Amino acid sequence: MRIAQVTEWCQAPKCFEYEAPDIPAPDSGYVQVKVLATGLHQLVRLRVNGRHYSAKSLPHNLGVDGVGITSEGQEVYFFTYYGETGSFTEVINVPKEDVIPLPSKSLDKFQVAALVNPTMSSWMALRRRALMTTNSNPPRPGFSVLIMGVTSLSGTLAVDVSRALGATRVIGCGRDEKRLASLALDERICLSNPIEETDFSSVGDVHVILDYVYGPPTMALFQSLKSTVPVQYVQIGDLASKLLTLPSYTVRSRNLTITGSGLGSFSFNELREELPEMLKVMENFLPQKLDVFPMSKIESVWEAKGDRRMVFVPGF
């Protein structure tokens, strides 16, 4: 069988031939999955480039999740965030606890493979990381949320996630004015150049900030923040910068709680608990435009430009 792999960081992946794993014994705690589709997420690219804390050794097998079918014929979503075998393979043995049956046959396997990972970023942030002043976790219905980087795929999905979890006011901030206008937002903020000229005055009272951007845009937001209600800031991504210079007085002078959401900030058990409900909610999401390729083409399309999420079919 084929596995997509890199033997050096920052190189385009290639397909290598390996023997297929044996079918696990019934009492092994594992289940064998034939992979039908697996997504090329930002996390996967970061790991290939040696820029993510969850990838530490070479050779590195690509992929963190996918959609497949078990030997019993059940269609499932599975994840492989830890372990040596990535999801860019034809057949994989996965711990049973990391395999979640798809809730409906109406769920498109390519959409699931492409979108669970980026959807997870806001879902876990709101369900497990954003602790409100009422000590409810997740936030109670009626909360307001500001999404920094809303025009990214993860940010766009965060709009749907926020609505599904009870947000009644969703503010989106991004650079792409046309993309901003197309999203189902209550309010829109377009980032200016220079960043310091961005008008954040319309934010007002906001309960949660989901940040996919970080760096100077976040600093400009903090300095402009005038919420009269406690604010939960959740750091998720760093599209603008990995660094933020945050003066101490900015933190002291605002009712602001800063936390992060990502692998390590929540447990895998928490993720397992959330995935079934998240998959059900995703049935109501609008389909996203995808580029679907056979895995055999991964080296040739690796550097392809475009704003569509890539999905690969390992068996071809």
Q: State residue 53's pLDDT score.
A: 76
What are the tens digits of pLDDT across the range 84-136?
789 999 999 999 999 999 998 889 999 999 999 999 999 999 999 986 434 45
Which element (helix H / strand E) includes 103?
Answer: none
Q: Which of 150, 105, 144, 133 is nearest to 283 (CA)?
A: 105
Q: State residue 138's pLDDT score.
A: 57
Q: How far apart are CA 263 and CA 65, in angstroms?
A: 14
Full-model pTM: 0.91
Q: How far apart are CA 242 and CA 232, in angstroms?
A: 20
Q: For residue 172, list its beta bridge partners.
A: 147, 188
Spans in the chain with pLDDT lower than 50? 132-135
Strand spans (E) along 83-168: 91-95, 99-101, 144-148
Q: State residue 105's pLDDT score.
A: 84
The CATH architecture annotation of domain 118-260 reads: 3-Layer(aba) Sandwich (3.40)
Q: How far apart are CA 179 and CA 163, in angstroms?
A: 19
Residue 188 CB-density burial (10 A; 0-12 exposed, 13-18 middle, 19+ buried): middle
- 2-108+287-313 CATH choice from 3.90.180.10, 3.40.640.10, 1.10.620.20, 1.10.3720.10: 3.90.180.10
Angle at CA of residue 131, ends 126 and 136, nearest 5°: 95
Q: State residue 131's pLDDT score.
A: 66
Q: State residue 28's pLDDT score.
A: 95
**């800063």: which residue's tokens?**
258
Count, residues in the chain: 316
CA distances from 151 to 162, 174, 185, 272 (A): 15, 6, 11, 28
Which element (helix H / strand E) includes 229?
Answer: none
SS3 category, 5: strand
Domain ranges (residues) in the chain: 2-108+287-313, 118-260
**Alpha-helix residue ranges (DSSP H) falling in 148-282:** 153-164, 177-182, 216-224, 248-252, 268-282
